[in-house]
Structure 1
Protein backbone atom coordinates (compact mmCIF):
# COMPACT_ATOMS: atom_id res chain seq x y z
CA UNK A 1 0.00 0.00 0.00
CA UNK A 2 1.11 3.57 -0.46
CA UNK A 3 -0.29 6.97 0.45
CA UNK A 4 0.02 9.77 -2.14
CA UNK A 5 1.67 12.72 -0.43
CA UNK A 6 -0.39 15.39 -2.15
CA UNK A 7 -3.48 16.14 -4.17
CA UNK A 8 -3.28 14.98 -7.80
CA UNK A 9 -4.79 16.60 -10.89
CA UNK A 10 -5.85 14.79 -14.07
CA UNK A 11 -6.97 16.11 -17.45
CA UNK A 12 -9.55 14.10 -19.41
CA UNK A 13 -8.40 12.96 -22.85
CA UNK A 14 -10.47 12.33 -25.98
CA UNK A 15 -10.60 8.54 -25.45
CA UNK A 16 -11.78 8.97 -21.86
CA UNK A 17 -14.53 11.51 -22.54
CA UNK A 18 -18.17 10.46 -22.24
CA UNK A 19 -17.90 8.00 -19.37
CA UNK A 20 -19.33 8.47 -15.88
CA UNK A 21 -17.11 10.08 -13.29
CA UNK A 22 -17.25 7.04 -10.95
CA UNK A 23 -16.11 4.65 -13.72
CA UNK A 24 -13.29 7.02 -14.66
CA UNK A 25 -12.09 7.27 -11.07
CA UNK A 26 -12.24 3.50 -10.53
CA UNK A 27 -9.89 3.03 -13.49
CA UNK A 28 -7.54 5.78 -12.35
CA UNK A 29 -7.48 4.63 -8.73
CA UNK A 30 -6.53 0.98 -9.16
CA UNK A 31 -7.48 -0.99 -6.06
CA UNK A 32 -9.84 1.62 -4.63
CA UNK A 33 -13.22 0.19 -3.52
CA UNK A 34 -16.31 1.71 -5.11
CA UNK A 35 -17.57 2.82 -1.68
CA UNK A 36 -14.46 4.99 -1.23
CA UNK A 37 -14.85 6.57 -4.66
CA UNK A 38 -18.49 7.42 -3.94
CA UNK A 39 -17.56 8.87 -0.54
CA UNK A 40 -14.84 11.22 -1.80
CA UNK A 41 -17.13 12.48 -4.58
CA UNK A 42 -20.09 13.04 -2.23
CA UNK A 43 -17.88 14.84 0.29
CA UNK A 44 -16.59 17.25 -2.36
CA UNK A 45 -12.98 16.05 -2.12
CA UNK A 46 -13.13 15.28 -5.84
CA UNK A 47 -13.59 18.42 -7.93
CA UNK A 48 -14.25 18.78 -11.65
CA UNK A 49 -13.14 22.14 -13.06
CA UNK A 50 -12.91 23.39 -9.45
CA UNK A 51 -16.56 22.54 -8.71
CA UNK A 52 -18.41 19.78 -6.88
CA UNK A 53 -20.30 17.24 -8.94
CA UNK A 54 -22.02 13.85 -8.82
CA UNK A 55 -20.74 10.34 -9.63
CA UNK A 56 -23.15 10.20 -12.59
CA UNK A 57 -21.52 13.22 -14.27
CA UNK A 58 -20.30 12.41 -17.82
CA UNK A 59 -16.75 13.70 -18.14
CA UNK A 60 -15.77 15.88 -21.12
CA UNK A 61 -12.46 16.15 -22.93
CA UNK A 62 -10.38 18.81 -21.23
CA UNK A 63 -12.06 18.50 -17.82
CA UNK A 64 -9.63 19.07 -14.94
CA UNK A 65 -10.22 16.64 -12.10
CA UNK A 66 -8.84 17.06 -8.59
CA UNK A 67 -8.28 13.84 -6.62
CA UNK A 68 -7.45 13.93 -2.89
CA UNK A 69 -4.66 11.85 -1.30
CA UNK A 70 -6.06 8.38 -0.53
CA UNK A 71 -4.70 4.93 0.29
CA UNK A 72 -4.41 2.68 -2.75
CA UNK A 73 -2.97 -0.70 -3.60
CA UNK A 74 0.53 -0.49 -5.07
CA UNK A 75 0.41 0.36 -8.78
CA UNK A 76 0.73 -2.75 -10.89
CA UNK A 77 -0.05 -5.09 -8.00
CA UNK A 78 -1.12 -8.37 -9.62
CA UNK A 79 -4.59 -9.81 -9.09
CA UNK A 80 -4.93 -12.98 -7.07
CA UNK A 81 -3.79 -16.26 -8.67
CA UNK A 82 -7.39 -17.52 -8.51
CA UNK A 83 -8.62 -14.52 -10.44
CA UNK A 84 -5.92 -14.93 -13.07
CA UNK A 85 -6.76 -18.61 -13.39
CA UNK A 86 -10.38 -17.72 -14.07
CA UNK A 87 -9.38 -15.17 -16.66
CA UNK A 88 -6.98 -17.52 -18.42
CA UNK A 89 -9.89 -19.47 -19.92
CA UNK A 90 -11.44 -16.50 -21.75
CA UNK A 91 -11.53 -17.31 -25.49
CA UNK A 92 -11.45 -14.43 -27.98
CA UNK A 93 -13.84 -14.72 -30.92
CA UNK A 94 -12.74 -11.56 -32.72
CA UNK A 95 -10.32 -8.66 -32.21
CA UNK A 96 -9.13 -5.60 -34.08
CA UNK A 97 -8.08 -2.06 -33.13
CA UNK A 98 -11.63 -1.06 -32.11
CA UNK A 99 -13.40 -4.16 -30.88
CA UNK A 100 -12.77 -7.22 -28.73
CA UNK A 101 -15.31 -10.06 -28.63
CA UNK A 102 -15.11 -12.52 -25.72
CA UNK A 103 -16.73 -15.94 -25.41
CA UNK A 104 -17.68 -15.55 -21.75
CA UNK A 105 -17.96 -18.68 -19.62
CA UNK A 106 -20.91 -19.18 -17.27
CA UNK A 107 -20.26 -18.35 -13.63
CA UNK A 108 -18.04 -15.32 -14.29
CA UNK A 109 -19.38 -11.82 -13.73
CA UNK A 110 -18.72 -9.28 -16.46
CA UNK A 111 -17.83 -6.61 -13.88
CA UNK A 112 -16.71 -6.55 -10.26
CA UNK A 113 -19.26 -5.38 -7.70
CA UNK A 114 -22.01 -6.74 -5.44
CA UNK A 115 -19.49 -8.84 -3.52
CA UNK A 116 -17.54 -9.85 -6.67
CA UNK A 117 -14.12 -8.18 -6.82
CA UNK A 118 -12.96 -9.52 -10.16
CA UNK A 119 -14.90 -9.86 -13.40
CA UNK A 120 -14.23 -10.16 -17.12
CA UNK A 121 -13.40 -6.48 -17.62
CA UNK A 122 -11.03 -6.38 -14.63
CA UNK A 123 -9.35 -9.52 -15.96
CA UNK A 124 -8.85 -7.97 -19.39
CA UNK A 125 -7.40 -4.78 -17.90
CA UNK A 126 -5.02 -6.80 -15.71
CA UNK A 127 -3.85 -8.87 -18.66
CA UNK A 128 -3.50 -5.83 -20.94
CA UNK A 129 -2.04 -3.04 -18.78
CA UNK A 130 -0.89 -1.23 -21.94
CA UNK A 131 -4.46 -0.88 -23.23
CA UNK A 132 -5.63 2.73 -22.90
CA UNK A 133 -9.32 1.91 -23.25
CA UNK A 134 -11.34 -1.24 -22.49
CA UNK A 135 -15.06 -0.83 -21.78
CA UNK A 136 -18.02 -3.19 -21.82
CA UNK A 137 -20.49 -2.49 -24.62
CA UNK A 138 -23.24 -4.48 -22.88
CA UNK A 139 -23.62 -7.02 -20.08
CA UNK A 140 -24.42 -10.67 -19.65
CA UNK A 141 -25.78 -12.19 -16.46
CA UNK A 142 -23.17 -14.02 -14.45
CA UNK A 143 -24.66 -17.46 -15.26
CA UNK A 144 -25.17 -16.67 -18.95
CA UNK A 145 -22.41 -17.76 -21.32
CA UNK A 146 -21.51 -16.57 -24.80
CA UNK A 147 -20.76 -13.49 -26.87
CA UNK A 148 -19.66 -10.37 -24.97
CA UNK A 149 -18.59 -7.15 -26.71
CA UNK A 150 -15.77 -4.95 -25.38
CA UNK A 151 -14.83 -1.63 -27.00
CA UNK A 152 -11.16 -0.68 -27.39
CA UNK A 153 -11.94 2.87 -28.50
CA UNK A 154 -14.37 5.48 -27.21
CA UNK A 155 -15.65 6.06 -30.76
CA UNK A 156 -16.46 2.35 -31.11
CA UNK A 157 -18.27 2.32 -27.77
CA UNK A 158 -20.44 5.29 -28.72
CA UNK A 159 -21.25 3.78 -32.13
CA UNK A 160 -22.23 0.42 -30.64
CA UNK A 161 -24.42 2.02 -27.99
CA UNK A 162 -26.27 3.75 -30.84
CA UNK A 163 -26.69 0.35 -32.54
CA UNK A 164 -28.07 -1.17 -29.35
CA UNK A 165 -30.72 1.56 -29.19
CA UNK A 166 -31.80 0.74 -32.76
CA UNK A 167 -33.23 -2.80 -32.89
CA UNK A 168 -32.51 -3.00 -36.65
CA UNK A 169 -28.75 -2.48 -36.29
CA UNK A 170 -27.91 -5.71 -34.46
CA UNK A 171 -29.35 -9.20 -34.70
CA UNK A 172 -28.90 -10.79 -31.26
CA UNK A 173 -29.75 -14.48 -30.80
CA UNK A 174 -29.66 -16.58 -27.64
CA UNK A 175 -30.29 -20.28 -27.12
CA UNK A 176 -32.23 -21.41 -24.07
CA UNK A 177 -33.88 -24.60 -22.83
CA UNK A 178 -37.24 -24.09 -21.14
CA UNK A 179 -39.58 -26.28 -19.14
CA UNK A 180 -42.52 -27.74 -21.06
CA UNK A 181 -43.46 -28.19 -24.72
CA UNK A 182 -43.59 -24.78 -26.40
CA UNK A 183 -46.62 -24.84 -28.75
CA UNK A 184 -45.69 -22.13 -31.28
CA UNK A 185 -43.08 -22.18 -34.02
CA UNK A 186 -42.61 -18.42 -33.47
CA UNK A 187 -44.04 -16.12 -30.83
CA UNK A 188 -43.62 -12.38 -30.15
CA UNK A 189 -43.43 -11.67 -26.41
CA UNK A 190 -43.89 -8.13 -25.11
CA UNK A 191 -44.05 -7.07 -21.47
CA UNK A 192 -43.30 -3.88 -19.55
CA UNK A 193 -40.36 -4.62 -17.26
CA UNK A 194 -39.29 -2.75 -14.16
CA UNK A 195 -36.07 -3.29 -12.18
CA UNK A 196 -36.01 -3.42 -8.39
CA UNK A 197 -33.67 -4.55 -5.63
CA UNK A 198 -34.60 -7.18 -3.05
CA UNK A 199 -33.99 -6.84 0.68
CA UNK A 200 -30.86 -8.95 0.17
CA UNK A 201 -29.52 -6.50 -2.41
CA UNK A 202 -30.20 -8.69 -5.47
CA UNK A 203 -31.35 -7.17 -8.75
CA UNK A 204 -34.72 -8.44 -9.95
CA UNK A 205 -37.22 -7.53 -12.64
CA UNK A 206 -41.02 -7.57 -12.49
CA UNK A 207 -43.79 -7.07 -15.05
CA UNK A 208 -45.63 -3.83 -14.25
CA UNK A 209 -47.67 -1.25 -16.20
CA UNK A 210 -45.06 1.37 -15.21
CA UNK A 211 -42.13 -0.63 -16.66
CA UNK A 212 -40.13 -0.22 -19.87
CA UNK A 213 -41.29 -1.75 -23.13
CA UNK A 214 -39.52 -5.01 -24.03
CA UNK A 215 -39.75 -7.38 -26.97
CA UNK A 216 -38.39 -10.89 -27.57
CA UNK A 217 -39.20 -13.26 -30.42
CA UNK A 218 -39.16 -16.90 -29.32
CA UNK A 219 -38.42 -19.39 -32.10
CA UNK A 220 -38.89 -23.11 -31.42
CA UNK A 221 -35.87 -25.18 -32.49
CA UNK A 222 -36.23 -28.61 -30.84
CA UNK A 223 -38.90 -30.21 -28.70
CA UNK A 224 -38.37 -32.91 -26.09
CA UNK A 225 -40.88 -34.72 -23.92
CA UNK A 226 -40.67 -32.16 -21.11
CA UNK A 227 -38.55 -29.32 -22.48
CA UNK A 228 -38.07 -27.10 -25.55
CA UNK A 229 -34.97 -25.55 -27.05
CA UNK A 230 -35.75 -21.95 -28.06
CA UNK A 231 -33.84 -19.46 -30.16
CA UNK A 232 -34.50 -16.05 -28.64
CA UNK A 233 -34.31 -13.00 -30.89
CA UNK A 234 -33.77 -9.88 -28.79
CA UNK A 235 -35.45 -6.72 -30.03
CA UNK A 236 -34.74 -4.77 -26.82
CA UNK A 237 -32.06 -5.34 -24.19
CA UNK A 238 -33.65 -5.03 -20.77
CA UNK A 239 -32.15 -6.58 -17.63
CA UNK A 240 -33.10 -10.30 -17.35
CA UNK A 241 -35.38 -9.84 -20.37
CA UNK A 242 -35.27 -13.38 -21.78
CA UNK A 243 -35.51 -14.93 -18.32
CA UNK A 244 -38.60 -12.93 -17.37
CA UNK A 245 -40.24 -13.29 -20.80
CA UNK A 246 -39.91 -17.07 -20.73
CA UNK A 247 -41.11 -17.38 -17.12
CA UNK A 248 -44.01 -14.98 -17.63
CA UNK A 249 -45.06 -16.96 -20.72
CA UNK A 250 -45.27 -20.15 -18.62
CA UNK A 251 -42.00 -21.68 -19.84
CA UNK A 252 -39.26 -20.91 -17.27
CA UNK A 253 -35.62 -21.46 -18.21
CA UNK A 254 -34.09 -24.61 -16.78
CA UNK A 255 -31.67 -23.78 -13.97
CA UNK A 256 -32.84 -20.17 -13.55
CA UNK A 257 -32.46 -19.48 -9.83
CA UNK A 258 -34.40 -16.18 -9.92
CA UNK A 259 -37.43 -16.79 -12.15
CA UNK A 260 -37.37 -20.54 -12.76
CA UNK A 261 -39.14 -23.61 -11.39
CA UNK A 262 -37.27 -24.04 -8.10
CA UNK A 263 -38.45 -27.60 -7.46
CA UNK A 264 -37.34 -28.71 -10.91
CA UNK A 265 -34.05 -26.85 -10.56
CA UNK A 266 -33.13 -28.94 -7.51
CA UNK A 267 -33.39 -32.12 -9.56
CA UNK A 268 -31.49 -30.87 -12.62
CA UNK A 269 -27.90 -31.34 -11.31
CA UNK A 270 -28.60 -35.06 -10.78
CA UNK A 271 -29.78 -35.19 -14.40
CA UNK A 272 -26.62 -33.51 -15.69
CA UNK A 273 -27.53 -29.80 -15.85
CA UNK A 274 -25.61 -27.79 -13.26
CA UNK A 275 -26.18 -24.24 -14.54
CA UNK A 276 -28.81 -22.03 -16.14
CA UNK A 277 -29.39 -23.01 -19.77
CA UNK A 278 -29.00 -19.61 -21.43
CA UNK A 279 -26.30 -18.85 -24.00
CA UNK A 280 -25.57 -15.77 -26.13
CA UNK A 281 -25.17 -17.71 -29.36
CA UNK A 282 -25.00 -15.43 -32.39
CA UNK A 283 -24.58 -11.73 -33.10
CA UNK A 284 -24.77 -10.10 -36.52
CA UNK A 285 -23.84 -6.43 -36.91
CA UNK A 286 -21.84 -3.90 -38.87
CA UNK A 287 -18.40 -3.01 -37.58
CA UNK A 288 -18.84 0.14 -35.46
CA UNK A 289 -16.20 2.13 -37.37
CA UNK A 290 -15.78 0.83 -40.94
CA UNK A 291 -19.31 -0.69 -41.26
CA UNK A 292 -18.10 -4.02 -42.65
CA UNK A 293 -20.50 -6.92 -41.86
CA UNK A 294 -19.62 -9.06 -38.85
CA UNK A 295 -21.22 -12.40 -38.00
CA UNK A 296 -20.08 -13.70 -34.62
CA UNK A 297 -21.03 -17.10 -33.28
CA UNK A 298 -20.31 -19.00 -30.07
CA UNK A 299 -21.21 -22.71 -30.10
CA UNK A 300 -23.10 -24.17 -27.16
CA UNK A 301 -20.72 -24.96 -24.29
CA UNK A 302 -19.95 -28.64 -23.80
CA UNK A 303 -22.04 -28.95 -20.64
CA UNK A 304 -25.16 -27.59 -22.38
CA UNK A 305 -24.70 -29.62 -25.56
CA UNK A 306 -24.15 -32.77 -23.49
CA UNK A 307 -27.41 -32.19 -21.65
CA UNK A 308 -29.28 -31.77 -24.95
CA UNK A 309 -27.71 -35.00 -26.20
CA UNK A 310 -28.90 -36.81 -23.08
CA UNK A 311 -32.48 -35.57 -23.65
CA UNK A 312 -32.38 -36.80 -27.25
CA UNK A 313 -31.26 -40.24 -26.08
CA UNK A 314 -34.03 -40.39 -23.47
CA UNK A 315 -36.66 -39.40 -26.03
CA UNK A 316 -35.20 -41.75 -28.61
Structure 2
Protein backbone atom coordinates (compact mmCIF):
# COMPACT_ATOMS: atom_id res chain seq x y z
CA UNK A 1 0.00 0.00 0.00
CA UNK A 2 2.88 2.30 -0.92
CA UNK A 3 4.31 2.34 2.59
CA UNK A 4 0.95 2.87 4.28
CA UNK A 5 0.71 1.26 7.72
CA UNK A 6 -2.73 0.82 9.22
CA UNK A 7 -1.28 0.56 12.73
CA UNK A 8 0.49 3.95 12.92
CA UNK A 9 0.24 7.51 11.68
CA UNK A 10 1.35 7.70 8.05
CA UNK A 11 2.47 10.69 6.00
CA UNK A 12 2.20 10.44 2.21
CA UNK A 13 3.58 13.00 -0.23
CA UNK A 14 1.45 13.32 -3.35
CA UNK A 15 3.15 12.54 -6.65
CA UNK A 16 1.75 12.61 -10.20
CA UNK A 17 -0.33 9.48 -9.61
CA UNK A 18 -2.42 11.29 -6.98
CA UNK A 19 -2.37 14.81 -8.40
CA UNK A 20 -5.85 16.34 -9.00
CA UNK A 21 -7.57 13.37 -7.33
CA UNK A 22 -10.25 14.09 -4.72
CA UNK A 23 -9.05 13.37 -1.19
CA UNK A 24 -11.91 10.92 -0.53
CA UNK A 25 -11.18 8.95 -3.73
CA UNK A 26 -7.47 8.97 -2.85
CA UNK A 27 -8.23 7.45 0.55
CA UNK A 28 -10.56 4.83 -0.96
CA UNK A 29 -7.71 3.75 -3.25
CA UNK A 30 -5.02 3.62 -0.56
CA UNK A 31 -7.19 2.19 2.21
CA UNK A 32 -8.64 -0.73 0.27
CA UNK A 33 -10.77 -2.94 2.49
CA UNK A 34 -11.64 -0.14 4.91
CA UNK A 35 -15.39 0.68 4.89
CA UNK A 36 -16.23 3.97 3.19
CA UNK A 37 -18.19 5.08 6.26
CA UNK A 38 -15.01 4.75 8.35
CA UNK A 39 -12.94 6.64 5.78
CA UNK A 40 -15.40 9.55 5.78
CA UNK A 41 -15.31 9.52 9.59
CA UNK A 42 -11.51 9.87 9.76
CA UNK A 43 -11.64 12.42 6.93
CA UNK A 44 -13.84 14.60 9.13
CA UNK A 45 -11.57 13.91 12.09
CA UNK A 46 -7.85 13.17 12.00
CA UNK A 47 -6.90 13.28 8.31
CA UNK A 48 -4.85 16.36 7.44
CA UNK A 49 -3.46 17.81 4.22
CA UNK A 50 -0.46 20.06 4.84
CA UNK A 51 -1.43 20.03 8.57
CA UNK A 52 -4.93 21.35 7.82
CA UNK A 53 -8.40 19.80 7.67
CA UNK A 54 -9.89 19.67 4.17
CA UNK A 55 -13.32 19.01 2.69
CA UNK A 56 -13.94 15.61 1.07
CA UNK A 57 -14.06 17.31 -2.36
CA UNK A 58 -10.56 18.82 -1.99
CA UNK A 59 -8.37 17.97 -4.99
CA UNK A 60 -4.81 17.02 -4.14
CA UNK A 61 -1.88 18.99 -5.50
CA UNK A 62 1.61 17.82 -6.37
CA UNK A 63 3.70 17.88 -3.19
CA UNK A 64 0.77 17.90 -0.74
CA UNK A 65 1.47 15.90 2.42
CA UNK A 66 -1.45 13.78 3.62
CA UNK A 67 -1.55 12.65 7.27
CA UNK A 68 -3.49 9.40 7.77
CA UNK A 69 -4.21 8.27 11.35
CA UNK A 70 -3.91 4.65 12.55
CA UNK A 71 -6.64 2.49 11.00
CA UNK A 72 -7.97 -0.49 12.93
CA UNK A 73 -10.34 -2.82 11.10
CA UNK A 74 -11.25 -6.45 11.63
CA UNK A 75 -9.19 -8.84 9.54
CA UNK A 76 -11.22 -10.50 6.78
CA UNK A 77 -10.88 -14.15 5.89
CA UNK A 78 -8.49 -14.55 2.99
CA UNK A 79 -10.22 -14.77 -0.38
CA UNK A 80 -8.61 -16.79 -3.17
CA UNK A 81 -7.09 -14.42 -5.72
CA UNK A 82 -8.20 -14.67 -9.35
CA UNK A 83 -5.34 -15.39 -11.73
CA UNK A 84 -4.83 -12.40 -14.03
CA UNK A 85 -2.48 -12.97 -16.97
CA UNK A 86 0.10 -10.26 -17.67
CA UNK A 87 -0.78 -9.42 -21.27
CA UNK A 88 0.48 -6.47 -23.31
CA UNK A 89 -2.21 -5.82 -25.93
CA UNK A 90 -1.29 -4.42 -29.38
CA UNK A 91 -0.17 -0.80 -28.89
CA UNK A 92 -1.07 1.75 -31.57
CA UNK A 93 0.54 4.75 -29.84
CA UNK A 94 2.27 5.51 -26.54
CA UNK A 95 3.95 8.45 -24.84
CA UNK A 96 4.49 9.61 -21.24
CA UNK A 97 0.79 10.41 -20.76
CA UNK A 98 -1.25 7.99 -22.89
CA UNK A 99 -1.38 4.44 -24.22
CA UNK A 100 -3.62 3.69 -27.21
CA UNK A 101 -4.48 0.00 -27.59
CA UNK A 102 -6.17 -2.16 -30.20
CA UNK A 103 -8.62 -4.15 -28.05
CA UNK A 104 -9.73 -7.54 -29.37
CA UNK A 105 -13.39 -8.53 -29.48
CA UNK A 106 -14.54 -10.66 -26.54
CA UNK A 107 -12.31 -9.02 -23.93
CA UNK A 108 -13.94 -6.75 -21.33
CA UNK A 109 -12.21 -3.45 -20.56
CA UNK A 110 -12.37 -4.18 -16.80
CA UNK A 111 -13.47 -6.89 -14.39
CA UNK A 112 -16.89 -7.01 -12.72
CA UNK A 113 -20.41 -8.38 -13.29
CA UNK A 114 -19.22 -11.96 -13.62
CA UNK A 115 -16.01 -11.00 -15.47
CA UNK A 116 -12.85 -11.86 -13.51
CA UNK A 117 -10.55 -9.43 -15.29
CA UNK A 118 -10.28 -7.18 -18.31
CA UNK A 119 -7.89 -4.99 -20.28
CA UNK A 120 -6.95 -2.69 -17.41
CA UNK A 121 -6.18 -5.53 -14.98
CA UNK A 122 -4.06 -7.32 -17.60
CA UNK A 123 -2.12 -4.16 -18.45
CA UNK A 124 -1.47 -3.37 -14.78
CA UNK A 125 -0.20 -6.91 -14.25
CA UNK A 126 2.04 -6.59 -17.33
CA UNK A 127 3.40 -3.25 -16.05
CA UNK A 128 3.91 -3.67 -12.29
CA UNK A 129 6.17 -0.59 -12.10
CA UNK A 130 3.51 1.74 -13.54
CA UNK A 131 2.49 4.28 -10.89
CA UNK A 132 -0.78 5.11 -12.64
CA UNK A 133 -2.79 3.36 -15.34
CA UNK A 134 -6.51 4.02 -15.85
CA UNK A 135 -9.12 3.64 -18.59
CA UNK A 136 -9.97 6.93 -20.33
CA UNK A 137 -13.19 5.52 -21.81
CA UNK A 138 -14.87 2.17 -22.37
CA UNK A 139 -15.78 -0.19 -25.18
CA UNK A 140 -18.36 -2.97 -25.03
CA UNK A 141 -16.85 -6.40 -24.47
CA UNK A 142 -17.90 -7.51 -27.96
CA UNK A 143 -16.50 -4.38 -29.66
CA UNK A 144 -12.92 -4.34 -30.92
CA UNK A 145 -10.65 -1.42 -31.68
CA UNK A 146 -9.11 1.78 -30.34
CA UNK A 147 -9.02 2.08 -26.54
CA UNK A 148 -7.28 4.85 -24.57
CA UNK A 149 -5.49 4.47 -21.23
CA UNK A 150 -4.01 7.33 -19.20
CA UNK A 151 -0.58 7.06 -17.53
CA UNK A 152 -1.01 10.27 -15.51
CA UNK A 153 -3.87 11.62 -13.41
CA UNK A 154 -3.56 15.00 -15.16
CA UNK A 155 -3.92 13.31 -18.58
CA UNK A 156 -6.98 11.36 -17.41
CA UNK A 157 -8.71 14.49 -16.08
CA UNK A 158 -7.92 16.43 -19.27
CA UNK A 159 -9.12 13.59 -21.54
CA UNK A 160 -12.40 13.35 -19.65
CA UNK A 161 -12.88 17.09 -20.22
CA UNK A 162 -12.03 16.73 -23.92
CA UNK A 163 -14.61 13.98 -24.36
CA UNK A 164 -17.25 15.69 -22.22
CA UNK A 165 -16.95 18.88 -24.30
CA UNK A 166 -17.17 16.99 -27.61
CA UNK A 167 -13.60 17.83 -28.62
CA UNK A 168 -12.78 14.28 -29.74
CA UNK A 169 -13.92 12.47 -32.88
CA UNK A 170 -14.69 8.75 -32.50
CA UNK A 171 -15.47 6.62 -35.57
CA UNK A 172 -16.61 3.00 -35.80
CA UNK A 173 -17.02 0.54 -38.66
CA UNK A 174 -19.94 -1.86 -38.54
CA UNK A 175 -21.47 -4.50 -40.79
CA UNK A 176 -25.28 -4.43 -40.64
CA UNK A 177 -27.98 -6.72 -41.97
CA UNK A 178 -30.03 -5.09 -44.72
CA UNK A 179 -29.62 -2.70 -47.65
CA UNK A 180 -28.74 0.80 -46.38
CA UNK A 181 -29.58 3.45 -48.99
CA UNK A 182 -28.68 6.90 -47.63
CA UNK A 183 -25.11 8.04 -48.27
CA UNK A 184 -25.09 9.94 -44.96
CA UNK A 185 -27.78 9.91 -42.27
CA UNK A 186 -28.13 11.67 -38.91
CA UNK A 187 -29.95 9.58 -36.30
CA UNK A 188 -31.24 11.40 -33.22
CA UNK A 189 -33.18 8.98 -31.02
CA UNK A 190 -33.30 9.15 -27.18
CA UNK A 191 -32.01 6.08 -25.34
CA UNK A 192 -33.38 4.65 -22.09
CA UNK A 193 -31.44 2.21 -19.87
CA UNK A 194 -33.29 -0.55 -18.01
CA UNK A 195 -32.78 -3.96 -16.39
CA UNK A 196 -34.31 -7.14 -17.78
CA UNK A 197 -36.14 -9.52 -15.37
CA UNK A 198 -32.88 -11.53 -15.34
CA UNK A 199 -30.97 -8.46 -14.14
CA UNK A 200 -29.18 -7.78 -17.43
CA UNK A 201 -28.53 -4.17 -18.49
CA UNK A 202 -30.29 -3.18 -21.72
CA UNK A 203 -31.05 -0.02 -23.69
CA UNK A 204 -34.04 0.93 -25.82
CA UNK A 205 -35.28 3.92 -27.81
CA UNK A 206 -37.81 5.78 -25.65
CA UNK A 207 -39.06 9.37 -25.55
CA UNK A 208 -38.02 9.88 -21.91
CA UNK A 209 -34.49 8.58 -22.54
CA UNK A 210 -31.27 10.58 -22.82
CA UNK A 211 -30.56 12.38 -26.09
CA UNK A 212 -28.34 10.41 -28.46
CA UNK A 213 -26.94 11.39 -31.86
CA UNK A 214 -25.13 9.14 -34.35
CA UNK A 215 -24.10 9.93 -37.92
CA UNK A 216 -23.99 6.94 -40.27
CA UNK A 217 -22.10 7.01 -43.59
CA UNK A 218 -22.44 4.22 -46.14
CA UNK A 219 -19.06 2.72 -47.06
CA UNK A 220 -20.03 -0.31 -49.15
CA UNK A 221 -22.97 -2.62 -49.70
CA UNK A 222 -23.63 -6.19 -50.81
CA UNK A 223 -26.90 -8.10 -51.22
CA UNK A 224 -28.37 -8.24 -47.71
CA UNK A 225 -25.45 -6.46 -46.00
CA UNK A 226 -24.08 -2.93 -45.64
CA UNK A 227 -20.81 -1.59 -44.25
CA UNK A 228 -21.28 1.69 -42.36
CA UNK A 229 -19.09 4.18 -40.61
CA UNK A 230 -20.67 5.45 -37.37
CA UNK A 231 -19.64 8.79 -35.89
CA UNK A 232 -20.64 9.30 -32.27
CA UNK A 233 -21.82 12.79 -31.34
CA UNK A 234 -22.89 11.52 -27.90
CA UNK A 235 -21.55 8.55 -25.95
CA UNK A 236 -24.52 6.60 -24.61
CA UNK A 237 -24.35 2.93 -23.63
CA UNK A 238 -24.90 0.64 -26.66
CA UNK A 239 -25.75 3.73 -28.72
CA UNK A 240 -24.73 2.47 -32.17
CA UNK A 241 -26.19 -0.99 -31.58
CA UNK A 242 -29.58 0.26 -30.41
CA UNK A 243 -29.93 3.00 -33.04
CA UNK A 244 -29.25 0.51 -35.83
CA UNK A 245 -31.48 -2.20 -34.38
CA UNK A 246 -34.34 0.29 -33.96
CA UNK A 247 -34.01 1.33 -37.61
CA UNK A 248 -34.21 -2.29 -38.74
CA UNK A 249 -30.50 -2.69 -39.54
CA UNK A 250 -29.11 -4.81 -36.67
CA UNK A 251 -25.37 -5.33 -36.44
CA UNK A 252 -24.23 -8.73 -37.68
CA UNK A 253 -23.40 -10.95 -34.71
CA UNK A 254 -25.03 -8.71 -32.08
CA UNK A 255 -26.31 -11.13 -29.42
CA UNK A 256 -28.35 -8.50 -27.55
CA UNK A 257 -30.09 -6.39 -30.18
CA UNK A 258 -29.50 -8.38 -33.36
CA UNK A 259 -31.34 -10.84 -35.58
CA UNK A 260 -30.74 -14.10 -33.70
CA UNK A 261 -31.72 -16.39 -36.59
CA UNK A 262 -29.37 -14.62 -39.00
CA UNK A 263 -26.64 -14.67 -36.35
CA UNK A 264 -26.93 -18.46 -36.13
CA UNK A 265 -26.51 -18.71 -39.89
CA UNK A 266 -23.42 -16.49 -39.73
CA UNK A 267 -21.97 -18.66 -36.96
CA UNK A 268 -22.33 -21.75 -39.16
CA UNK A 269 -20.11 -19.92 -41.66
CA UNK A 270 -17.50 -19.30 -38.95
CA UNK A 271 -18.40 -15.65 -38.23
CA UNK A 272 -18.70 -15.71 -34.45
CA UNK A 273 -18.18 -12.10 -33.29
CA UNK A 274 -20.15 -8.87 -33.36
CA UNK A 275 -19.13 -6.75 -36.34
CA UNK A 276 -18.47 -3.45 -34.58
CA UNK A 277 -14.95 -2.01 -34.58
CA UNK A 278 -13.72 1.30 -33.14
CA UNK A 279 -11.41 2.17 -36.03
CA UNK A 280 -10.31 5.73 -35.24
CA UNK A 281 -10.23 8.51 -32.66
CA UNK A 282 -8.80 12.01 -33.03
CA UNK A 283 -8.20 14.76 -30.47
CA UNK A 284 -5.60 17.26 -29.32
CA UNK A 285 -3.12 15.76 -26.87
CA UNK A 286 -4.29 16.57 -23.31
CA UNK A 287 -0.86 17.84 -22.19
CA UNK A 288 0.97 19.03 -25.33
CA UNK A 289 -1.94 20.15 -27.53
CA UNK A 290 -0.54 18.13 -30.45
CA UNK A 291 -3.15 16.82 -32.90
CA UNK A 292 -3.44 13.02 -32.63
CA UNK A 293 -5.36 10.62 -34.85
TM-score, normalization by structure 1? 0.76
Aligned to 1:172: 170
CA offsets 1:139-183 (integer angstroms, 9 cap, x no match): 00001001000011111111111111122x211110001110011
Question: Structure 1 129/46 Cα, relative in aligned 2: closer, same or farther at 3 Å?
Answer: farther
Asked if the contact 1:12/1:59 (under 8 Å) is kept, the reply is no
- Counterparts of 2:285 and 2:40 in 1: how far apart (Å)? 41
Question: Which aligned pairs between 1:173-188 and structure 2 lie closer than 5 A?
Answer: 173-188=171-186
* Cα drift, residue 239 of structure 1: 0.9
- Listed as ranges, the gaps of 5+ residues in structure 2 are 48-55
- Counterparts of 1:205 and 1:10 in 2: how far apart (Å)? 46
What is the number of equivalent residue pairs in this alignment? 274
Q: Where in structure 1 do 4 or more consecutive aligned residues deviate above 4 Å?
A: 7-12, 17-27, 42-46, 62-68, 70-74
Asked if the contact 2:28/2:36 (under 8 Å) is kept, the reply is no
Match of 2:45 among 50, 55, 63: 50
- Higher gyration radius (CA): 2
CA offsets 1:187-243 (integer angstroms, 9 cap, x no match): 001111122233333221122222211111000001010110100011111111111
How large is the Cα RMSD of the aligned pairs?
3.1
Other structure's SS at 2:85 match: helix
Asked if the contact 1:17/1:58 (under 8 Å) is kept, the reply is no
Question: Which aligned pairs between 1:113-152 and structure 2 lie closer than 5 A?
Answer: 113-152=112-151
Aligned to 1:153: 152
Other structure's SS at 1:150 match: strand
Match of 1:249 among 247, 250, 264: 247
- Counterparts of 2:24 and 2:113 in 1: how far apart (Å)? 16
* Cα drift, residue 266 of structure 1: 1.8
Other structure's SS at 2:250 match: coil
- Listed as ranges, the gaps of 5+ residues in structure 1 are 296-316
